Structure 1
Amino acid sequence: MVTGGKSLRKVHETLCPDCKPIRTTFWIMIFASIHFFLCLLPNFNSISGVSLVAAVMSLTYSTIAWTASLKKGVHEHVDYSPRGKTTNDHVFNFFSAMGDVAFSYAGHNVVLEIQATIPSTPEKPSKGPMWKGVVVAYIIVAICYFPVAFVGFYIFGSSVDDNILITLEKPSWLVAAANLFVVIHVIGGFQIFAMPVFDMIETYMVKEKKCSPSNVLRFTIRAIYIGLTMFVGISVPFFGGLLGFFGGFALAPTSYYLPCIIWLTIYKPKTFSFSWCANWFCIIAGVLLTITAPIGALRNIILQAETYKFFS
C-alpha cells in the first residue's frame, strides 16, 4: 500500500512538476481502490497473469534503477559513512536492516500455497517443478537486488531514499516509467501475498461460522481486509521501518525457522549431522531476527513519526 501510493505520487510529480501536490494519503487510497476490483478473482490460478506481469515489471524497474543511477554519476558530496551518529544508532539500524533482508527474501508461506495447487503424483511429485521454480526465482531475485544495492550505494551513498526510484530525478520520463512499473509490480505482489490470507479467513467463516460460500461473502471479507491494510498504510507510511518490522515479526518465522522446526520434528536427522546443524543454525538466527529486527524498525518508525502529521 505504501509503496504503491508513494510511487503513484512520484509519477504525478515527475510528469507534472507544476501541478498542485496531492497528499500521499489520497495516492494510497487510489492504489487501494484497484484491489477492490482485483480481490474478486477467486484463487492463485486466476491471478497467474497478474503475477507474470508483476514479475516482468520487477525486472524492468530494478534494471532502470541501477542503469539510470550509473548514467547520473556519483552524487555530489556523496557520503559513504553510516547514517547513525551514535553506537546506538548503528546497532538499531543494523537490526532494522536485517529485517529488510528478511522481508526481501521471505515469501515461503506463499511458496507452500503455490505448491499445494500443483498436481502431484508418486510418479511426478510436485517437488520437482517446485525446486526448479525456486532456483530460478532466487536467481531472478539476485539479478534484481544486487545491482541496485551496489550501484545505488556507490552513486548516492547513505543519502539514498528507502526507494531508490524516489531519489532519482532525471531523465523524468524514465523515472516516471520505472515508478509506474513499481505500481504494477506491487499490485500483483499484494494479491499474491493476500490470497492465502483470503483463503484462510473464508475457510474459517464457512467451516466455523457456517456462512454460506458466495461471491458476497468473498467480496465482503476481502474488501474489509483491503480497507484495513489501506488504513494502516495511510496511518504509518514509513516504508523502510515497515519493511524491517514485518520482515522480522511476521515473515522471519514462516520463512526461516518454523520450516526448520517442522523438518527436524518429522525427519529427525542424526544429531550433529550437516542437516541437523544447518537447521539449528537457521532456527537460532531466525529467532534472533524475530526479536531484534522489529525493535530496530520500531525505533526508526518512532523517530520518523516525531516530524510526521497523520493523514498528510
Structure 2
Amino acid sequence: MTESWSERSVEEKESMGFAEDDGHTRTGTVWTATAHAITAIIGSGVLALPWSVAQMGWILGPFTLLACAIVTYYTANLLSDCYRTPDPIHGKRNHTYMDVVSSCLGPRNVFLCAIAQYALLWGTMVGYVITAATSMMAIDRSNCFHYKGRNAHCNTSGNLYLILFGIVELVLSQFPNLEKITVISLIAAAMSFAYSFISLFLCIFKLASNHTFQGTILGAKIGGTVSLSTKVWYAFQALGNIAFAYTYSMLLIEIQDTIKAPPPENKTMKRASLHGIGVTTIFYVSVGCIGYAAFGNKAPGNILTGFYEPFWLVDIANVAVIVHLIGAFQVYGQPIYAKYENYLSKKWPESVFFHKVYMLALPFCKPRAFRFTLCKLILRSAFVVLTILIAMMLPFFNAVVGLLGAIAFWPLTVHFPVSMYMAQAKIRRGQWQWVVLSFLSAIALLVSVLAAAGSVVDIIHRLKHVTMFKTKL
C-alpha cells in the first residue's frame, strides 16, 4: 500500500527536495511549540493577578483563573483543528489566524477579525508603555525609600520615563520587520520569565513573614472609599485582567505553522496547548493566590509596586519588565506597520514617499548603511508618538489591561475559534454541539461586555481626578 504524503518522514520528504507539502521545512516539535505557547501567554498581565483575585475573593478569584484556563484550552483545541482546511489532517495549510478566518468564514469576517486583532495589538502597545513607565517609577521610588527611609516623600512623575521609553521605541521601530529583531524578542521572552518568578518569590517571602493568610471569601469589602457599585465595577474589571493574562489564541496558528508532521500538526498542537496552558495556569494561580494571601484586599494593581525591599531584587524585576516591554512593544507593533505600509504602497504604487529607498551611512555598524523610505521614517515615528501620547492621557494600568482582555476574550479567544470549528465540522444549527458551543460563545460575550464596562467606568472615573499628562505613582 502506498504511503500518503502525511505519513512520510521528514527525511523522506527532504530527500525528494522539500520537507512539507507547501515547500517549507518545519522542525517544530511538541516541546518547541510548548515553549512558544508559554512565552506567548506569560506576560505583563501576570502582575495584575493578585489585585484581580482581591476584587473577587477566595472563591470567585481562583475559580475565574481556572475557568479562563479551561475555556482557553478548549477553544485552542478547536482552533488547532482549523489549521488545515477543509480537512484537519490533509487540508490546505493556513499560515496565520486571519488565513483561517478567511478559509472558514469568508472575507467579511476577516474584516471584523482585523478590527479586533489590530485594536488589541495597538491597545496592548499602549498598555505596555504604561506598564514600563510604572516599573521605571517603581525603581525610582524603591531606591528613594531605601536611602531616605520609608517615611520619605517619594512620589515620582512618570512623564519623563514615558518619553524615554518612546525614544527607544522610535529607534527600534525603524527595523524593517520582526526577523530583524529576533534577538530582542528572545531577550524579552527571557525577561518575562525573570520578573514573573521574582514576583512569585517576593509574594512567598511576604506571606511567610506575615505568619498568616490575608484576604476574605468575598474579596474587597464595601465601606470607606469602596461603594457597592465600585466593588462591582472592579470585579468586572478583574475579569478582563484575568482574560488578558490568558491571551493566546491569536498566536496559536503561527505557532502551529512551525510544527513538523507526522504526527498531524493538530495533534501535536493540542498536546503543546495542554502543556503550555497547564504550566501557565499553575503559575498564574500561584501568583494570584499567594499574592492575595500576602497582601489581602490591599493587593496593589501592579504587584511589583507593593515591594520596596530587598530593593536590589525589586529593581532587577522592574528592569526585567522594562526590557521585556521594549521588545514586546515592537513584536506587537511590527504587524501594524506592515499592514498599513502594504496597503499604502499598493494604493500609490508610483509614489516616491512610499517606494524610494534612501541610504544613510553607518560607519561602525553592520550593515554599513541604514535603508529607509520616507513612509517608514515618518509614519512609524508618528505612530509611536501617538501611542505614547495616549498612554500619557490614560495612565491606568489595571483599567487598560482589563479593557484589553475584554477586547481579546470573546472575539479572538472564543467567537472566531468556535465559529470556524462549527463551519469546518459542518455542525448544523440545532445540533447538541451547536447548542453547547453557542452557549459558550454567549457566556464569553457576556464576560467581555462586563469586563469592558468595568474598565471603561474606571477609566472615566479616574479621568475626573487626574491631570492630563501628569502620570504619578
Q: TM-score surpassing 0.5?
A: yes
Larger CA deviation: 97-106 vs 139-148: 139-148
Distance 1:139 1:48, change over 3 A: farther
Distance 2:227 2:163 in 1: 38
Indicate if the aligned counterparts of 2:215 and 2:293 stay in contact, CA closer than 8 A: no
Residue 216 of structure 2 corresponds to residue 82 of structure 1: no
Residue number in structure 1 paired with 2:44: none
Residue number in structure 1 paired with 2:131: 3
Letter of the 1:201 partner, please give it. Answer: Y
Distance 1:36 1:83 in 2: 44
Distance 1:205 1:113 in 2: 25
Distance 1:233 1:255, change over 3 A: same
1:164 maps to which of 303, 320, 339? 303
Deviation at 1:7, TM superposition (A): 0.3
Larger CA deviation: 286-295 vs 150-159: 286-295
Residue 141 of structure 2 corresponds to residue 13 of structure 1: yes
Residue 280 of structure 2 corresponds to residue 141 of structure 1: yes
Which structure 2 residues correspond to residues 1-312 of structure 1 after superposition, within 5 A?
Answer: 1-17=129-145, 22-72=156-206, 73-74=209-210, 80=216, 81-82=219-220, 84=222, 85-113=226-254, 118=258, 127=266, 130-131=269-270, 134-210=273-349, 211=351, 212-213=354-355, 215-216=372-373, 217-250=375-408, 252-269=410-427, 276-312=434-470
Normalising by structure 1, what TM-score?
A: 0.85
Report the structure number with the largest CA radius of gyration. Answer: 2
Distance 2:211 2:229 in 1: 28
Letter of the 2:455 partner, please give it. Answer: A
Distance 1:149 1:59, change over 3 A: same
Larger CA deviation: 141-150 vs 94-103: 141-150
Deviation at 1:78, TM superposition (A): 5.1
Distance 1:15 1:186 in 2: 21
Identity %: 25
More helix by share: 1
Deviations 1:158-215 (A, max 9, x none): 1111110001111110111111111112222222222222222122112234353453
Residue 41 of structure 1 aligns to a residue whose secondary structure is coil
Name stretches of at least 5 consecutive residues in structure 1 with no aligned partner.
none
Deviation at 1:119, TM superposition (A): 8.3
Name stretches of at least 5 consecutive residues in structure 2 with no aligned partner.
1-128, 149-153, 358-371
Larger CA deviation: 252-261 vs 222-231: 252-261
Letter of the 2:142 partner, please give it. Answer: T
Residue 190 of structure 1 aligns to a residue whose secondary structure is helix
Distance 2:462 2:165 in 1: 23
Larger CA deviation: 36-45 vs 234-243: 36-45
Distance 2:193 2:304 in 1: 14
Deviations 1:90-147 (A, max 9, x none): 332222111112211124334445556x488x87876566556544542453354222
Distance 2:376 2:248 in 1: 24
Aligned residues: 310
Deviation at 1:236, TM superposition (A): 0.6
